[in-house]
Structure formats: structure tokens, C-alpha cells
Amino acid sequence: MCADDTNLTLASSNTEELFSSLNHDLSNLKQWLNCNRLSLNVLKTKCLFTGTRYKISLLPCEPYICLDGHLIERVNSYKCLGVQVDETLSWEAHISEVVSKVAKVLAALKRLRPICPQSTLVTIYKSLYWDVSEMASAKN
């Protein structure tokens, strides 16, 4: 069994202290998961630092966050419970994703319009709209 959507959150103004704490907490988390017969896929584990653009720019490009000899990949954004979270905690990445999905839905409906009855288009619209509206409500 795997532990999905597990997050560690730490805050520190000292980067060395932050990296040390992260490595220690990751090790403890892995040990706890193993004791409870859960697994952590180290290769899928990601690291996201949040803060102002200035504070983020002060961090090393490749911080040394490691687990079981594998360097944890640093990302600029990731999806957490349906919401795209980025390092400055802005909505730009999430909004871009929602806009892209809405554009795909509208393009599909436009292509189907000449060949489908209106009742079928309405059904398709409602099913596709529901998926998009769920993404938008996850933002709120």
C-alpha cells in the first residue's frame, strides 16, 4: 500500500537548518511509513520551496534534499488535491491549467456541433462542464 498526497511543511529563514530538518523529517517519515506497512516512492517524491521571488532566488538551484541515496527533485509547481501550487503561491499555474482544459472542451464541442444533435451536445457539455467546474471550485 502507498501513502499518496503526503506533504511535509517546514519554515525557516536559515537554509542550512531548513535542508537539515527536511532530510531528518523525510528519514523519519520513511521509517514511520515502513513501520506501518506503507511505502514511499522516492523517485516520485518532489520538493517545492515557497516564498517571495526574492527569497526563492537566494536558494541554491539544487538543494541537497536526499532520501535513501536519491536526490529529491526540486519543482517550481505541483498539483496538490486538484490545485496547481507554485513556489510564489500565485494562481497563475492553476488558472493556466483550467483555461487550457476549458479551451479543449470548447474545441471538442465546436467540432461535434455539425454532426451531433443538440440534445447530445448538451449532454456532452454538461459532463465536460462538470469536470471543469470541479477544477475551478478546487481553487476556492
Query: How many other CB atoms are there within 10 angstroms of residue 33's CB atom?
Result: 16
Last residue of a domain, one of 86, 104, 131: 86
Which of 69, 3, 82, 63 is closest to 35 using CA atoms?
3
- If one compares 3 and 56, the residue with the highest pLDDT of the two is 56
Residues 65 and 26 in one domain: yes
Residues 82 and 96 in one domain: no
Last residue of a domain, one of 46, 69, 86: 86
What's the confidence (pLDDT) of residue 83? Answer: 87
Q: What is the pLDDT of residues 71-112, one digit of tens each?
A: 888 888 888 888 888 999 998 888 988 888 888 888 888 998
What's the confidence (pLDDT) of residue 25? Answer: 92
pLDDT category at 115 given cuts 50, 70, 90 is very high
DSSP string, 3-56: -TT-------S-HHHHHHHHHHHHHHHHHHHHHTT-B--GGG-EE---S-HHHH
Residue 137 pLDDT more than 80? no
Residues 21 and 70 in one domain: yes
Residues 101 and 134 in one domain: yes
Residue 135 pLDDT more than 60? no
Which of 30, 10, 14 is closest to 22 using CA atoms?
10
pLDDT category at 13 given cuts 50, 70, 90 is confident
Domain count, the chain: 2
Average pLDDT, the chain: 83
Residues 38 and 81 in one domain: yes
- Check residue 61 and report its DSSP letter: S
pLDDT category at 21 given cuts 50, 70, 90 is very high
What's the confidence (pLDDT) of residue 131? Answer: 58
Distances 103 to 23, 117, 125, 129, 132 between C-alpha atoms, Å: 41, 21, 13, 11, 10
- Span between the terminal Cα atoms of the chain, in Å: 31
* C-alpha to C-alpha distance for 86 and 100, rounded to whole angstroms: 17
Domain with 66, as residue range(s), is 15-86
Last residue of a domain, one of 86, 101, 130: 86
